[in-house]
Amino acid sequence: MNNPVPTAQPARNPLLEDWDSPYGLPPFSQVHPEHFAPAFELAMQAHRAELDAIASQQQPATFDNTIAALDGSGRLLNRIDLLFSNLTVSDTSPALQAAEREIAPRLAAHENALYMHEGLFGRIDALFERRQSLGLDDESMRLLERVHLDFVLAGAKLAPDARLRYGKMTEELANLTTQFAQNLLADESGFLLPLREDADLAGLPESVRSAARAAAEQRGLGPNASAVTLSPSLAEPFLTFSARRDLREAVWRARMQRGAHDGEHDNRAIAARIVQLRQEQAALHGYASYADYALADRMASGTAAVLDLLAKAWEPAKAKADEDRVRLAAMARRLGQPTPIAAWDWRYLAEKVRQEEFDLDDAELKPYFTLDNMIAAMFDCAGRLFGLKFVEQANPGLYHPDVRLWEVRGRSDTLIGVFMGDNFARPSKRSGAWMNIFRSQSGLNGGTLPIVINNNNFAKASPTLLSFDDVKTLFHEFGHGLHGLLSQVRYERLAGTRVLRDFVELPSQLFENWALEPQILERHARHWVTGEAMPQALLDKLAAARRFDQAWTTIQYTGPALIDMALHSLPHGTPVDLAQFEAGQRTVLGIPEDIGQRHYLSHFQHLFAGSGYAAGYYVYMWAEVLEADAFGAFTEAGDPFHAETAERLLKHIYSAGSRREPAQAFRSFRGRDPVVEPMLEKRGLMV
């Protein structure tokens, strides 16, 4: 019998020690990938001991000794997990990816053991059954109800054999979603289109050329080379401006085919297996489909409500796109380009039409949108609305040199949290934009201040110039960041962004509105060379073109949302060939080939890099209904920074976390339920 070779363990593990860094930040420079597995093991053991202690108490269950105690448990595990999950998406490495593959199923098993803990759930269930007699305040009642539902939806009420099967499925799903995300990152970071000749740069404005040079240098091609990557902040401007139709097609196809080709990074079978497991998961809970199971804990209480909303935008958008296509085809003929147009032509031709009809060139706008100025703009808005001040700290010693850190101070100059910004694309970072936390706000045991981070994937250059879509993304993620920073609740389970999935996008999408405010643009949209404010004529043209090409944007989003709902509405036992299913849906829905989809299933990480947005990609439009109506409160007040309206917004939305049911929270702010018309009007889709 061979004795196993002992694995060398580090002499000390900073993950298990007190973190005495400023603000309680992780000791980034001391942490290495090999620290995580042993730290997770000890932290999970400690958490299990806490759970056993709660469950085995001799005293009868009370809110404090069971629900509040559960909310306060697992702090060591949580801080390690938050650090690990941030690093694996923001600055990963082969060693971290190996650790992730090892740890993901173990974390899933631990979470499964938590929710299947019979003694613990017995106490929670007993409290839930007599909740009306406990004399709880509203926030405590909300926590009890949320915790109980968490356990039920995670399988706590399943029969023993079903619980065993459920646990095996959650571990397999953890492996599969991890592999899906890693495959996607490998595909994205592995693509590089060198631009070797002057002809390859035809049509590109200087801002895109500068970003292409920076991308080539980052990939080791040398200081004088240029290249295109699949980072949206470089690939999308390239598709918009490049006069080289063949190169546009190459970039478009590479983006579309991520995860959809033979080889070790093929995501098609992985996604199909995830769907199969989700079907079984829903069936074990007694639901007809995974969509029904997922929507049990959403504002939209069923698929009919989701499909009704998406339909209100889908057909009008297709009709409007038919009109737009005529103008784009005419432009193509004038430019000597072929018709019918293709998907890699639409952005390019739309930009030409926009320049002609509105005398507005995105290349003319970009010099006024430097990253630093737009960060100052969003901080200015937060100050005017909520009295916040952001004080940058030099050399904070974070996980990457590009990351910046600000103290966040309230009206009385009191520290209320820490905000970090990681804004640039790199090969070690997943694509997209997101908000995350390193520590949650809570009000118990002296309270904890939130540590919030925003990640973007802007193309790094000197200076970094943003498109207006990039500016909206920056503001969007900062809206999430404010939701975490301004949280004022007692219990961590209810803090910040831990709200229903179709409510979580309200604070983020709402904050985008302030990026368009003339007084903000007049102050902060300054030319990076001259420092001059954006001319009024250009501001007027930007406002006039606001609804331009919204049909294309709506179809790009709504098509994948409808496919998501169709895929996750399949009953248990339905086999799925991912490519065949998606092609069939494109035909059924009538997705125009020359527009296509923002996300194809093989790289749709909203659905398959985790479960949060599965049967839930619709939430962006659901939240857009809320935000378009909500911003109307400021319009009606006659001031985008109206103090009384901003105070209501802070009280009922940004600081409230999940303290109240979201529909009630919206009514408290707006004075009524939302209506859909402002969203349709905003998109130019009123019929």
| Cβ atoms of 479 and 503 closer than 8 Å | no
Pairing of strands 415-424, 451-458: parallel
Helix (H, G, I), strand (E, B) or coil at 58: coil
How confident is the model over 615-627, as pLDDT tens digits? 999 999 999 999 9
pLDDT of residue 5: 40
Q: Is 562 a member of any domain?
A: yes
Tally of domains within the chain: 4
| Cβ atoms of 251 and 239 closer than 8 Å | yes
Residues 31 and 97 occupy one common structural domain: yes
Residues 78 and 52 occupy one common structural domain: yes
Can you read off the two tokens belonging to residue 369?
């949108």
Say whether pLDDT at 9 is over 70.
no
Helix (H, G, I), strand (E, B) or coil at 450: coil
Place of tokens 């909303």: 309
What are the angstrom distances between the C-alpha of 129 and each of 51, 144, 232, 485, 670?
21, 10, 50, 34, 33
Compute the residue count for the chain: 687
pLDDT of residue 342: 98
User: What is the enclosing helix (H) or strand (E) of 587?
Assistant: helix 578-589
Residue finishing a domain among 617, 648, 668? 617
Residues 569 and 626 occupy one common structural domain: no
CA distance 316 to 430: 34
- Domain span including residue 218: 191-256
Can you read off the two tokens belonging to residue 453?
């981070």
Say whether pLDDT at 483 is over 80.
yes
Q: Is 687 a member of any domain?
A: no
Q: Is 158 a member of any domain?
A: no
Residues 537 and 652 occupy one common structural domain: yes
Q: State the catalytic residues.
A: 477
pLDDT of residue 2: 41
CA distance 368 to 355: 17
Q: Is 145 a member of any domain?
A: yes
- 304 strand-pairing partners: none
Residues 132 and 39 occupy one common structural domain: yes
CATH code, 656: 1.10.1370.40
Residue finishing a domain among 105, 126, 153? 153
CATH code, 606: 1.10.1370.10
Mean pLDDT of 653-657: 98
Q: Is 250 a member of any domain?
A: yes
Confidence of residue 6 (pLDDT cuts 50, 70, 90): very low
Residues 47 and 100 occupy one common structural domain: yes
pLDDT of residue 511: 98
How confident is the model over 342-371, as pLDDT tens digits? 999 999 999 999 999 999 888 899 999 999
Residues 655 and 509 occupy one common structural domain: yes
Q: What is the mean pLDDT of the chain?
A: 95
Q: Where are the alpha helices (DSSP H) in 191-231?
A: 206-218
| Cβ atoms of 441 and 430 closer than 8 Å | no
- 453 strand-pairing partners: 420, 436
CATH code, 109: 1.20.1050.40
Mean pLDDT of 386-408: 96
Q: Is 197 a member of any domain?
A: yes
Q: Is 16 a member of any domain?
A: no
How confident is the model over 244-265, as pLDDT tens digits? 999 999 999 999 999 999 999 9
Q: How many CA atoms lie within 13 A of 650 on its CB side?
A: 18
Mean pLDDT of 655-674: 97
Helix (H, G, I), strand (E, B) or coil at 408: strand
Could you tell me which of 564, 550, 566 has the C-alpha nearest to residue 624?
550
pLDDT of residue 398: 97
Residues 381 and 516 occupy one common structural domain: yes
Q: Is 653 a member of any domain?
A: yes
Q: How many CA atoms lie within 13 A of 83 on its CB side?
A: 27
Confidence of residue 687 (pLDDT cuts 50, 70, 90): low
Residues 441 and 315 occupy one common structural domain: no
Residues 627 and 612 occupy one common structural domain: no
> What DSSP assignment string belongs to 506-533?
HHHHHHGGGGG-HHHHHHH-B-TTT-PB
How confident is the model over 280-301, as pLDDT tens digits? 999 999 999 999 999 999 999 8
- 389 strand-pairing partners: 409
Residue finishing a domain among 234, 256, 278? 256
Confidence of residue 4 (pLDDT cuts 50, 70, 90): very low
Say whether pLDDT at 8 is over 90.
no
Residues 350 and 372 occupy one common structural domain: no
Residues 251 and 273 occupy one common structural domain: no
